[in-house]
Amino acid sequence: METKHPAIQPSRLPGRGIWSVHEAIDRLFDNLMRGFEIEPLEPWRVGMEGLVSVDVSETDREVVIAADLPGMDKEDLDVTVTRDRLIIKGEKKEEREEKNKGYFRKERFFGTVYREIPLPCEVLTDKAGAEFKKGVLYISLPKSSEVLRETRRIPIKAAA
């Protein structure tokens, strides 16, 4: 009797299933709103409000994170770190608007932003540093000494 091994599944983008649901809902609302003066929802915007876009990179000694937070001030941000996780929270306050001011289009987001980032390794929380410049939060997280000691190069042998 032949044993079957499960096929290796291609990796999927995290959250892709959620985007499919959003796209289906967008199509439904687009059809319902046809003929009204409400503009259709834009698929690239649905679910993006409050999401902090980040780049996470790693060097031999530290984990580096760059987070886009346009229009925010450092006083509106709260950043916490554990040995294996970073959390960015903030509040983007709405600018006062005139009562009788009419808008042709209003897309700018105001409200709570939040992002929880699992880190690729343990870090030294007491040595973490951050700098906020031109709407980008730069965070450097030194790796723990255990992680640095655990790293070693693996020799590769030629096949016989």
Please write the tens of the pLDDT for every residue from 110-133.
Answer: 778 889 999 998 999 999 999 999
In terms of domains, do 133 and 83 share one? yes
**Tens of pLDDT, residues 33-52:** 665 544 444 444 444 556 78
In terms of domains, do 134 and 64 share one? yes
Per-residue confidence (pLDDT) for residue 42, from 0 to 100: 45
In terms of domains, do 54 and 43 share one? no
Structural domain containing residue 119: 50-94+110-151
Per-residue confidence (pLDDT) for residue 92, from 0 to 100: 80
Per the structure block, which two tokens stand in for 129? 């540093």
The number of domains in the chain is 2
Q: Is residue 1 part of a domain?
A: no
**Regions of the chain where pLDDT drops below 70:** 1-19, 22, 29-50, 95-101, 103-109, 147-152
Q: Note the pTM of the prediction, 2 decimals.
A: 0.58
In terms of domains, do 40 and 115 share one? no
In terms of domains, do 37 and 56 share one? no
In terms of domains, do 132 and 66 share one? yes
